[in-house]
Structure 1
Amino acid sequence: MNRDQITSRQAFLILASLASTEVLRPSFRNFMLWAGNGGWLPILAAVVIGLILVGLIIRLAQRFPQQSIAEYAPRVWSPWLGYPLVIALAVAFFVQGTLSLRNVTEFVVAAILQETPISAVILVMLVLTASGTLAGLEGMVRFNELIFPVLIGTFFVILASTVQLNPWYLLPWLDQGIGKGVWDVFLDVVADITIVSYLLFIYPYLVDPENSKKAGRRYTLFGGGILFGTYLNTLLFLGHTAGSKFTWPYLTVTENIRLIERGEALFMVIWILAAFLRISFCFYIAALGLSQLIPGLKIAWMALASLPLAAFIALRAPNLPTALLLDEMVNRAFLFVGAGVPLFTLLLAWLRKMGGDSREQAPN
């Protein structure tokens, strides 16, 4: 196994950065259109559910503090089920990274490089991603610590400087019904937070696992607050028209802030850095999970080898509407894999009395 060592704070600080990059997802444009002005209600509820989910994932990790899920899942489930479930979780992170790659390049092309082929932008992003995966776990979390204050500072400047905010937009917009839209928004935001399941692969590398619960609650709430604040800021400015145009509403918001003449440029630079971190981290976690199943495989080289496949998959969607549909399908599937595998593993480990104070927590 990789011997990188990180703190609980570093492990969860990266969650807040990953959550902030959701503003670059194409589906972000449709949240308020689906649920009307009441779209902020399911987002708030999803953050609360996300906190509960994070607590349960931490509890599972604490039952086997010296092992990753790739090591104890085959014992909890039996090898016939455990190995496929771990592979499914690792592949889910690879697909998340691939779709994040496509989403970010779509955003860059739409915002600043309209005449540039998307394949060229993907190639540049892959070069950046390769450097991130080669940096390893410690390198990525340290880079995240470096950019996080700038990322959050930029977020608060934009949030506090947006003009023409209308509090009436907070009232539910019921003209087209709210039931289905609220459910869709709720599931999507919970799926965003479900990415915290990466903790199950890196928990053995924490130097202070006793602090994981406190750090988990703090930074999950922080990341959820970023999501909630971003959506709320967009809603207060655009109202029920937030999803009516095929554009990124938050980009529209940043064009109207008071303190920075070209605020959208600052927004793009900072969030593209965070998106690069998200893509690299997802590919690294996928490679880490597979290397834990197959000892001897080099994590960095496995991550690098997966990049051409990621580029091939990212270019399969011929246009943005198709990419948007694919993103919605995969994000929903990630919810069931990223939350279902840990929760059912926790339940089964509890029923079989595995982990905790038993010998199951001893390293192999």
Structure 2
Amino acid sequence: MIRNNDIVSPYQIAMITIMTVISVEVFSIAADTADILGTDGWLVIVILGIINIFTAMVIVRLNSIFPGKTIAEYSQIIIGTVPGKVLTSFFAIYLIIVIAYVTRVFTEVVKMFLLFRTPTEVIMLSLILVSTYIVRGGVECVARINELIFPILFIPFTIVMLFGLPNMDFSNLRPILQTPPGKVLASIPRMIFSFGGIELALYYIGFMKEPKKAYKSLIISVLFILLFFVMVIVFCIAAFGAKSTTKAIWPLVMYIRGISLPGLFIERLDGVILSLWVLTVFTTIVTVFFTASYSISKVAGTREQKQYVLPLVIIIYYLALQPGSLAELYEWGNAIFPYAVSAFMYVVPVMLLIIAGLRKLEVKQNEGN
């Protein structure tokens, strides 16, 4: 049940979705897709974008049946109290792992390109601790920070990306559409995590007064993410070629580093963009962190989620330190996230919607608020 000061607008739903999904994945998405499909890497993103438009519709429909409630609450109505709490517990575990993964990837990027001599532990702990301030402020603070940072990041980022056009050779994008359809479809499971974060709408739409207004917001969000990812992939391959893009750990950073603007008072554009990107990862951690603590509060049956924030810091910090190297971290992610994202973004919403339909469940608007 939502309170008057815990209201999220349709625009904020879009901002939360975009900021959460793009996050750190944008650094490596060009390399990942080029490694699988070469110059046709953008195809799998387009296909996933189309799939996730339908996923967004399922999520909004499910939340519209139970206005004013999140998946942590209406899952208990649909499948029973105990199974619902078990599902929410698994969701919380998944979210905690996501925070640890994002924190560690972000730390590796910052340590390599910005804070060379700063210990990994200091960077990680600083990021996690600062995020707790917003998380303890509640869903309204989370929504507002996403809304605030979106234009600060994406307007300058898009302008900088366009400055790299002179460095591109669009012949590097050939051959086009030469990959067998079977290989393209087979690449979908590996790239599912690229859109991971849309499933958080199962929670945040529950804080809207009129959930049905989220249809437009989520669809626009998915289309924006699709176009943004395709732009990054196409620009990186056009600049470096598919083979060189595949070999790079973070092609996007290489692309920005290659931009030279004579007479510009800023010598390193990559430093500026990465500094701005700190805000993006910060919002992602805040958004997922709040969702995890909120999930735990619903499992425990407590009204507030604040008391679970600081204990989670210890767990997240410990998990983030476990991978011994960046390669091990990515192995960890590839082993967990394709299955976890598939379950929570596709299987769970569809199954809950089917069961709710079979049981003819519906909560009236005035009951949800």
| TM-score (ref. length: structure 2) | 0.89
Partner of 1:224: 226
Partner of 1:202: 204
Deviation for aligned residue 1:333 = 2.4
2:153 matches 1:151 = yes
Partner of 2:14: 12
Partner of 2:119: 117
Contact 2:107–2:124 (CA<8 Å) still a contact in 1?
A: yes
Question: How far apart, CA to CA, are the structure 2 residues paired with 1:18 and 1:89?
Answer: 16
For the structure 1 residues 128 and 242, does the alpha-carbon distance in structure 2 shift closer, same or farther, using more than 3 Å as the test? farther
| Paired letter, 2:319 | I
Deviation for aligned residue 1:139 = 1.3
Gaps of 5+ in 2: none
Partner of 1:32: 34
Secondary structure in structure 2 of the residue aligned to 1:298: coil
Question: How far apart, CA to CA, are the structure 1 residues paired with 2:355 and 2:302?
Answer: 29
**Which moves more between the two structures, 64-73 or 127-136?**
127-136
Question: How far apart, CA to CA, are the structure 2 residues paired with 1:234 and 1:334?
Answer: 29
Secondary structure in structure 2 of the residue aligned to 1:14: helix
Contact 1:89–1:341 (CA<8 Å) still a contact in 2?
A: no
2:364 matches 1:362 = no
For the structure 1 residues 140 and 75, does the alpha-carbon distance in structure 2 shift closer, same or farther, using more than 3 Å as the test? closer
**Which moves more between the two structures, 223-232 or 302-311?**
223-232
Contact 2:29–2:229 (CA<8 Å) still a contact in 1?
A: no
| Paired letter, 1:186 | I
Partner of 2:340: 334
- Return the match for 1:233 from 228, 232, 235: 235
Contact 1:126–1:307 (CA<8 Å) still a contact in 2?
A: yes
Question: How far apart, CA to CA, are the structure 1 residues paired with 2:158 and 2:27?
Answer: 20
Q: Percent of aligned positions with the same letter in both sequences? A: 22
- For residues 1-364 of structure 1, the aligned pairs below 5 Å read 3=3, 4-23=6-25, 29-162=31-164, 163-172=166-175, 182-183=184-185, 185-259=187-261, 261-296=267-302, 298-339=304-345, 340-355=347-362, 362-363=367-368
Question: How far apart, CA to CA, are the structure 1 residues paired with 2:54 and 2:159?
Answer: 30
Deviation for aligned residue 1:131 = 2.2
Deviation for aligned residue 1:235 = 1.7
Secondary structure in structure 2 of the residue aligned to 1:354: coil
Gaps of 5+ in 1: none
Question: How far apart, CA to CA, are the structure 1 residues paired with 2:60 and 2:45?
Answer: 22
1:95-130: CA deviation from partner (whole Å, max 9, x where unpaired): 111110011001111112333331121122122222
Deviation for aligned residue 1:288 = 0.9
For the structure 1 residues 41 and 24, does the alpha-carbon distance in structure 2 shift closer, same or farther, using more than 3 Å as the test? closer
- Give the root-mean-square deviation of aligned CA atoms: 2.6
Contact 1:21–1:274 (CA<8 Å) still a contact in 2?
A: yes
Question: How far apart, CA to CA, are the structure 2 residues paired with 1:250 and 1:188?
Answer: 20
Secondary structure in structure 2 of the residue aligned to 1:257: coil
Contact 2:17–2:201 (CA<8 Å) still a contact in 1?
A: no
Deviation for aligned residue 1:74 = 2.3
**Which moves more between the two structures, 42-51 or 241-250?**
241-250
Question: How far apart, CA to CA, are the structure 2 residues paired with 1:24 and 1:95?
Answer: 19
Contact 1:23–1:230 (CA<8 Å) still a contact in 2?
A: no
Contact 1:167–1:236 (CA<8 Å) still a contact in 2?
A: yes
1:296-320: CA deviation from partner (whole Å, max 9, x where unpaired): 2531221222011101001010111
**Which moves more between the two structures, 152-161 or 275-284?**
152-161
1:260-312: CA deviation from partner (whole Å, max 9, x where unpaired): 64210121011111101101111110111221233325312212220111010
| TM-score (ref. length: structure 1) | 0.90
Question: How far apart, CA to CA, are the structure 1 residues paired with 2:23 and 2:182?
Answer: 25
Question: How far apart, CA to CA, are the structure 2 residues paired with 1:119 and 1:74?
Answer: 39
Contact 1:11–1:199 (CA<8 Å) still a contact in 2?
A: yes
For the structure 1 residues 326 and 80, does the alpha-carbon distance in structure 2 shift closer, same or farther, using more than 3 Å as the test? same
Secondary structure in structure 2 of the residue aligned to 1:247: coil
Deviation for aligned residue 1:25 = 5.4
The alignment of Structure 1 onto Structure 2 pairs a total of residues equal to 361
Contact 1:76–1:348 (CA<8 Å) still a contact in 2?
A: yes
Question: How far apart, CA to CA, are the structure 2 residues paired with 1:323 and 1:136?
Answer: 30
For the structure 1 residues 274 and 361, does the alpha-carbon distance in structure 2 shift closer, same or farther, using more than 3 Å as the test? same
